[in-house]
Chain A
């Protein structure tokens, strides 16, 4: 069955960096776009970034543009999010999701928490 599992979250100091990973299984990974979505404590969902199936097309929310970088390794069925220059506003649970029809996100991981604090 389709499964996506995030890892790599943790505690990081302001201005630090962190790399999140998402391992996918149960589907042909390269056929689907993949997305990162986050939820800050007590807040709603926020779309962060997405990447096309081949890895050639990427886009970012204004709040992370220039600091975050999304990538994928289709040979390893893995998605990544490199996060630099982190601030406390980046504290959130980060979800990996599969892109589906009409821009919907049909399978989500359990999320990995990121805390930015000194």
Chain B
């Protein structure tokens, strides 16, 4: 399974909303609702922010939301804040019983 495709970078001003896409195939994103998203500040530990396409773990801000249509999943960050500047990765379970990450998106807060 090839890595899921994400835009290399997305930027927005404080308070704005941004959306990151995650495009896979019928063998991963398109088949399962097992898509998760991770926030990774360089030098720190990746943090789970969305699981099963749209659910948030306890303690994660409701400014983060997820969705899916066909082979593409999306992460939306609303009310963008300076602390949201980080790398974001999607991940999906696959029909081979493996997992695959996205290529990663650097979010910049202008």
A interface, CB within 8 angstroms of B: 35, 37, 44-47, 50, 59-61, 95, 100-106, 108-111
Q: How many contacts A-B (CB < 8 Å)?
A: 70
A108 partner residues in chain B, CB cutoff 8 A: 45-47
Can you name the residue of chain A whose Cβ is closest to the Cβ of B53? A102
**B35-57 CB contact bits vs A (8 Å, 1 = yes)?**
11010100001111001100101
Knowing A44-B103, A45-B46 are in contact, say whether A105-B98 is a contact too (CB < 8 A).
no
Size category of the binding interface on chain B: 20 to 34
B interface majority secondary structure: strand
11 examples of A-B residue contacts, CB within 8 angstroms: A44-B3, A44-B101, A45-B46, A46-B101, A47-B91, A47-B101, A102-B35, A103-B91, A105-B38, A106-B48, A108-B45
Which residues of B does A touch, CB under 8 Å?
Answer: 3, 32-36, 38, 40, 45-48, 51-52, 55, 57, 87, 89, 91-93, 96-104
Give CA–CA (A47, B92) in the complex, Å.
10
CB distance from A58 to the nearest CB of B (A): 10
Name the residue in B38, B96, B99 with the highest tally of chain A Cβ atoms < 10 Å from its Cβ: B99
A37, A44, A110: most-surrounded residue (chain B CB, <10 A): A44
- Given A50-B99, A105-B91, 18 more A-B residue pairs with CB atoms under 8 Å apart are A44-B3, A44-B102, A45-B101, A45-B104, A47-B91, A47-B100, A59-B96, A60-B98, A100-B51, A102-B33, A102-B36, A103-B32, A104-B51, A106-B51, A108-B45, A108-B46, A108-B47, A110-B45
